[in-house]
Amino acid sequence: MQLHTTDFCSIELFENYVIITVNEGVNLTLDKANIIRKKLRSYYKDQKFLLISNRENNHEVSDDIYKQGQLSNMKAIAIVSKKKTERDKAIIEQKLFDKSFAFFENLEEAKSWAQSYF
């Protein structure tokens, strides 16, 4: 596992999946997402992978992130949160993502899902 941190998130890179935890109060804009995408392209290159969004902190996600420039080798997204508000946001986000989309209440379930996906 490789851990990278920015001023707005942490990125944990595993063989077939990445866990991204956005910091409290951040507005995740397209510019910030492009920084994450650059790191993912560098690490995974053309290899298929899954993204786990660990939503333990309150933050906003711009719809533009889903509408522009999804990585073709990112095959699925999982949202992890125990908060009902995050589940409600995930339902909206799911409509913007045309690949597999899952919601989990804890990180271990999401990791297990990711490890068995491929």
Query: In the chain, where are the structural domains located?
Result: 1-67
Q: Is the pLDDT of residue 27 over 90?
A: yes
pLDDT digit string, tens, across residues 85-94: 998 988 998 9
pLDDT digit string, tens, across residues 48-77: 999 999 999 999 999 888 888 689 999 999
| pLDDT for the residue 70 | 81
Asked whether 110 and 80 are in contact (CB, 8 A), the reply is yes
If 0-12 CB within 10 Å is exposed, 13-18 middle and 19+ buried, where does residue 99 land?
A: exposed
Structure tokens given for 68: 């522009």
Average pLDDT, the chain: 95
Nearest to 54 by CA among 95, 82, 14: 82
As a whole-number percent, the residues of the chain with pLDDT over 90 amount to: 82
Instruction: Residue count of the chain, please give it.
Output: 118
